Structures are given as C-alpha cells and as structure tokens.
Amino acid sequence: MSDPHAFFILASYAITALTCLGLIAWVVLDHRRQRAVIADLEARGVTRRSGRSS
Amino acid sequence: MALLDLANPTRFLALVQRALPWLALATAVLFAAAVHFAFFVAPDDYQQGGTVRIMFIHVPAAWLSMACYAMMALASLGTLVWRHPLADVSAKAAAPIGAAFTFVCLATGSLWGRPMWGTWWIWDARLTSELVLLIMYLGLIALWRSVDDPGRAGRAAAVLTLVGTINLPIIKFSVDWWNTLHQPASVIRLGGPTIHASILTPLIVSALAFTALFVTLHLAAMRNEVLRRRVRAMRLMEAQREMPPAGAQAAAGAG
C-alpha cells in the first residue's frame, strides 16, 4: 500500500481483526469448557431434573 | 416460532445449534465482500485520501456499540417487566461483545484522528460519551461477575443498564449539541445520506458484515451462558446430594 497514511489504515484493520478473532476465540473456548464440565458432571452421575424426566 | 417458545432454554439451544453454521458462513462471506469493497472498489476520498477506509470499520463499530447497548436495554425490560428467562442471558452475553465493538470504535477513531485532526484524542462530547459507554459496559461485566446468584445479578444489571440508556442520545446528538472536531451525522440523518454512493456502498456492506458477526457471536455467547447456568444448577444438585439429610445431621449431633 503506497498511501502516506498506510500505517494508520493497516493498524486500524489489524486492531479490528485481532479484536474480532479474540471474541470468536472467547466464544469457542468458553463453549468447549462448559461442554467439558457438563460431561464431567454427568460422568459423576449428576443429572439435571429436566434431564432425568426426559 | 413464538417468543414464548424460546423461553425454553433446551428449545433455544436446539435453534442456535441449527442457525450458527449458516450465520457463521454468512458472516464470512459478508466480511470477504466488505474487505474487497474497502480495498479494491472504494475510491480514495478527495480530502481524506486512503484514510477513508478506516470509516468502513469505525462507523459500523460505532453503530453496533450503541445498537448492542439498546438491545441490552430492551433485554433489561424483559428481565424486570416480563421476567423472560432468556432476557437476562441475552443482556449478559451481549455486554463483552458491545465492549469490544466500543473499543474498536475508539481505537480506530483515534487512528483516524491522528492524521486527519492532528491529535490521537480530544475530550469533546462525542469521544468522551463513547468512552463513557465503554466504561459502562465494563462496569456491567464487573457487576455480573461480582454477584454469585445469576438472578440477583441480572436484576441489578438490568436497572443499571436502563439508567445508562441516557448516554445513547448524548452520543448520537453530541455532534449537534456541542462544538466538536467530530463530523456531524452523514448517513443516518433526516435529509438522507450525504456520502457518495461509491463510499456509501462499501460502508453498508461492512455494516452488514459487522451486524452478522454480532448476531452470530451473541447467539453463541447466549448458548454458552445457558450452559454455564446448567453447570451451576448441576453443581448445586451435586452439593445437595453429598450433604447428609437434615434429620441425620440432627441425630448425629444428639448422639
């Protein structure tokens, strides 16, 4: 990019991309963590009331 | 599907499971189009040169920072008035996403301001009220984290969120009410947009991409919050199961 303000433009896009990727990573990792904890609790015999009735 | 049907978290999780892959695909396609428009279609601005490309991320981030808060305010009404079980989940899941968009808005605004205004930051009404919005998001996140009971935390956060809505018209109209370096509204205004179509089209495509990302992340974060509350309920049940019955405790104490 030959624009005299290329640093400001690319830095803006880089910060935005990093923030969006951070949000995506947070959501994906949090989902995995919650799933893993639920699987662990179920393996120990803990079930939800609604889970038992279904 | 009625709104009431979504009050069932299990039904909500099933719906999200089906919708997320398509939403993620739509987001990726829209972002690819947005980057293409921004770097290969949109011309340089006659005054701002290439820095106009910062607008394609700064403005959608600013719109979503406010739209996300407005949605949290509606969800807060759902918590306090209708006690919809997913309203509080929705508000809590949206807060970090809104905070992230507000941060992007402030950071890209600063990077745009340095070459155009000659300064990274100025304490004028628009910039300061947007910074207040970020602080409000962070405060709400801290409140949710500091109260253990999700119900109590949700009601307290709902009241605080509704009080904070006073900041939204201040952000929107600050450029009209006070002197500021920030330009006045040029897209969402009564007389219609003042931006040329060659710049407006990439901006709209980018706004659609950011909105799709917000919807995708919000639904995914809501799903995680429902699971987190499920984990909490299961842990409470496990703790109750491991505790001896009250009668047995009393008998043990007497013996």
**B66-93 pLDDT, tens digit each:** 999 999 999 999 999 988 888 999 999 9
Structure tokens at B47: 């005054």
Confidence of residue B193 (pLDDT cuts 50, 70, 90): confident
Q: Which of B50, B57, B61 sits opposite A5 (nearest CB)?
A: B50
Dihedral angle computed from the Cα positions of residues B174, B180, B186 and B188, in that order, rounded to the nearest 10 degrees: -10
Residue tagged 């951070």 (tokens) = A22
Task: Determine, for residues B111 and A13 on separate chains, whether the beta-carbon distance falls below 8 Å.
Answer: no
Note whether B237 contacts A46, CB cutoff 8 Å: yes
Whole-complex ipTM:
0.87
For B42-58, letters b (16+ CB in 10 Å) and e give beebeeeebbbbbbbbb
Position B4 scores a pLDDT of: 60
For B75, the token pair is 């969800």
Tell whether A29 is within 8 A of chain B (Cβ).
no
**Cβ atoms B143, B156 nearer than 8 A:** yes
B238 contacts in A (CB within 8 Å)? 41, 44, 46
Residue B238 near residue A46, CB atoms below 8 Å = yes
Mean pLDDT of A8-36: 96
Subunit contact A22:B100, Cβ cutoff 8 A = yes
Q: What percent of chain B has pLDDT over 70?
A: 91
B97 inside 8 A of chain A by CB: yes
What ranges do the domains of chain A cover? 16-42
Query: Given this model, what pLDDT does residue A9 score?
Result: 95
Contacts of A50 in chain B (CB under 8 A): 10
- The confidence score (pLDDT) of residue B250 equals 56
Which pLDDT score is estimated for A47?
80
Nearest to B51 among A5, A19, A22 (CB): A5
Size of interface A-B (CB pairs under 8 A): 93
Classify residue B209 by burial, with Cβ atoms within 10 Å: 0-12, 13-18, 19+: buried
Output the pLDDT for position B69.
97
Q: Quick one: closest CA in B to A7, which residue?
A: B111
Residue type, B38: A
| B108 at A interface, C-beta within 8 A | yes
CA distance B249 to chain A (A): 23
B47 — phi, psi (to 5°)?
-105, -45
Note every long-range contact of B170-174, with CB atoms under 8 Å and residues 24 or more positions apart, other chains counting: B170/B125, B170/B129, B171/B66, B171/B126, B171/B129, B171/B130, B171/B133, B172/B66, B174/B124, B174/B125, B174/B126, B174/B129
> What confidence tens digit (pLDDT) does each residue in A32-52 have?
999 999 999 999 888 876 555
Which 3-state string (H, E, C) describes chain B? CCCCHHHCHHHHHHHHHHHHHHHHHHHHHHHHHHHHHHHHHCCCECCCECCHHHHHHHHHHHHHHHHHHHHHHHHHHHHHHHCCCCHHHHHHHHHHHHHHHHHHHHHHHHHHHHHHHCCCCCCCHHHHHHHHHHHHHHHHHHHHHHCCCHHHHHHHHHHHHHHHCCHHHHHHHHHHHCCCCCCCCCCCCCCCCCCCHHHHHHHHHHHHHHHHHHHHHHHHHHHHHHHHHHHHHHHHHHHHHHCCCHHHHHHHHHC
- The pLDDT of residue B197 is 83
Determine the Cα–Cα distance for residues B86 and B70; give it in Å rounded to an integer: 16
Q: Are A13 and B234 within 8 A, CB to CB?
A: no
Whole-number average pLDDT of chain B: 88
Judged by a CB distance cut-off of 8 A, whether residue A14 touches chain B is: no
* Residue B196 at interface with chain A, using a CB cutoff of 8 Å: no
Inter-chain touch A34–B228, beta carbons under 8 Å: yes
Q: List, for residues B141-178, the tens digit of each pLDDT value.
A: 999 999 988 889 999 999 999 999 999 999 988 888 88
Per-residue pLDDT at B144: 93
Residue A1's pLDDT is what? Answer: 64
Is the model more confident about A50 or about B242? B242
Least reliable range by pLDDT among A22-26, B18-22, B103-107, B120-124: B120-124
- CB-hemisphere CA count at 13 Å for B201? 10
- What distance in Å separates the CA atoms of residue B17 and residue B227, rounded to the nearest whole number? 13
- Minimum mean pLDDT range among A26-30, B92-96, B177-181, B236-240: B177-181
* DSSP track, chain A: ---TTHHHHHHHHHHHHHHHHHHHHHHHHHHHHHHHHHHHHHHTT---HHHHH-
